[in-house]
Amino acid sequence: MNKHRIIKVILAFLCFVVLVVGVVWAFMLFFGGRVLKGITIVIEQYVAQSSVLIVGLCIAVTILLLKLLASRKINHPKQYYAIIIIGLTISGLNAASLLATPYTIINTNQEFDTAFDLDWENSIPSNIYKYFLPSPYFFSSHFLSIPEREIIVEKDVLFYTGENITLYFDVYRSKMDASQLPGNGSIIINLHPGAWMSGGKGTWNMISTSKYLAGQGYVVFDIEYGLIDWFEYAAEAPDTPEYVMGNFTIEDQIRHIGIFTNRCASEFAATYGGNLDCVYFMGRSAGAHLGGVAGLGYNNDFHNTTFSPNITVKGVIPLYPPSAAPEFLLKENKTTNPDLYNAYDLVHLADPQDPPVLIFQGTSDGQVWIERVIALEANLESKGVKCCLVKFPFAGHANDFVLSSNIGQVWSYYLERFLYLTQHIS
């Protein structure tokens, strides 16, 4: 074989490898990690938000294959045309998430219409709209990202030492006067994912979203809480700091968040220009559960000494939330102490005085199943809580990592509107 032919064979082989990856990606889009479990639960997190680029990649390698096998068009036309069909089919399947974007937009608009009345869009002043995304999705922004506004980031600010751990937070805020921006200095307490036993602030708590919200005039506190060292989970989050690990339960984690709210009310809000009359709890996965407990439970008798009484919670933003704590991660189980269990169950904590809730959920999530989140929304609404579920077809767990993806853009579009609308609900 001459040199050219060897290169051609290697290239053709690599093209087939990419198409096989395209098949795996398409499978993960449709079924998530729910079917195969194991490593697919981790892979699922990267699939939907990269699928548009995988479409481009599959089309490109199909074209390359056609160029490489051009001579076969005459001698083996069936093989040649089969490659076209296979390549385009794989690309088409990977486009499912992108093609479902209009469905997400229509569906979320209906959710907002129900929660905030049909006129909600007109209730936002035109001078505020100039700071918002003008459209739920721009294909151009998908590649070039959403332009950032000038912000200030302060990292590793200590807020708690004790129980053999130290807890820090990162704070994101605008360089501009927040009172001139939609956020008006409202505080967002951002809780990281990681199955209550792993993860940390920063990278895995979606820095891009924190930066984007800071640019809108929100003061975003990305905080740590003590993590459970005696529990193991297959899909644990990376970058877990050793200094937060301890012999904890979920009750301790809520207590750590409570400590932060108290220090925030007494000190940090003033330092960073945060508005205590407008506080949001936002969290991802396990952080969404903890944020839900804090946001829906801060007015509950069980938790009434945990959180600062000087904050007013205006909204809860759980992304891919488990609706209740796993029993074994509490000090007592459901049978021996049902009141304790209920105090960490979002539905039991809900009451008509609770603030509105905006939920992010992908339908292909293998860790937090869509059926359970739909039930959570229905149960919260039956308890009198305003609730909007932003449902992303084909998205898996943690699919808000890329802010400029079709998922990230649609989420940001409705998130900024939700935050503004709820600020002005008394």
Partner 1 sequence: MKISKKMIKYLCIISFGANIALILMGIFHYFIGLNIVFGTSFSILIVLSWFLNIILIVYNDYKIVKSSLMGKKIHHLGYGFVGVNIIDIILLVAGLFLLNANWFSPILQYSLIIFGFFSFFIYGSIFSYLNLKSLDKREVWQFE
The stretch near partner 1 (CB under 8 A) out of 20-28, 138-146, 289-297, 345-353 is 138-146
Residue 359 Cβ, how far from partner 1 at the closest point, in Å? 21
> Quick one: which of 6, 81, 118, 143 contacts partner 1 (CB under 8 A)?
143
Alpha-carbon distance of 207 to 213, in angstroms, equals 10
Alpha-carbon distance of 51 to 405, in angstroms, equals 9
> Quick one: which of 47, 98, 146, 228 contacts partner 1 (CB under 8 A)?
146
- For the chain, the first-to-last Cα distance in angstroms comes to 77
Residue 134 Cβ, how far from partner 1 at the closest point, in Å? 4
Per DSSP, the residues of 321-383 read --SB--GGGSSS-TTT-HHHHHTTBHHHH--TTSPPEEEEEETT-SSS-HHHHHHHHHHHHHT
Which is nearer to partner 1, 11 or 23 (by Cβ)? Answer: 11
* Position 135 contacts partner 1 (CB under 8 A): yes
Alpha-carbon distance of 243 to 224, in angstroms, equals 10
Residue 268 Cβ, how far from partner 1 at the closest point, in Å? 21
Alpha-carbon distance of 130 to 181, in angstroms, equals 10
* Position 374 contacts partner 1 (CB under 8 A): no
HSE-CB at 285 with a 13 A cutoff on CA atoms is 26
# binding residues, partner 1 (CB under 8 A): 36
Which is nearer to partner 1, 7 or 35 (by Cβ)? Answer: 7
Closest CA to 354 of 407, 250, 286, 280: 280
- Give the other-Cβ count within 10 Å of 150's Cβ: 9
* Position 57 contacts partner 1 (CB under 8 A): yes
In this structure, the strands spanning 227-228 and 151-162 are unpaired
* Position 404 contacts partner 1 (CB under 8 A): yes
Closest CA to 92 of 50, 52, 64: 52
> Quick one: which of 42, 47, 206, 325 contacts partner 1 (CB under 8 A)?
206
Beta bridge partners of 359: 389
* Position 389 contacts partner 1 (CB under 8 A): no
The set of residues, in sequence order, having a beta carbon less than 8 Å from that of 7 and lying 6+ positions away, is none
Residue 25 Cβ, how far from partner 1 at the closest point, in Å? 12
Q: What would the x/- binding string for partner 1 be over residues 37 to 56, using CB under 8 A?
A: ---------x---x--x--x
Residue 49 Cβ, how far from partner 1 at the closest point, in Å? 8
Q: What would the x/- binding string for partner 1 be over residues 154 to 193, using CB under 8 A?
A: ----------------------------------------
* Position 202 contacts partner 1 (CB under 8 A): yes
In the complex, which residues of this chain contact partner 1 (CB under 8 A)? 18, 46, 50, 53, 56-57, 59-61, 63-64, 66-67, 70, 133-135, 138-141, 143-147, 202-203, 206-208, 401-405
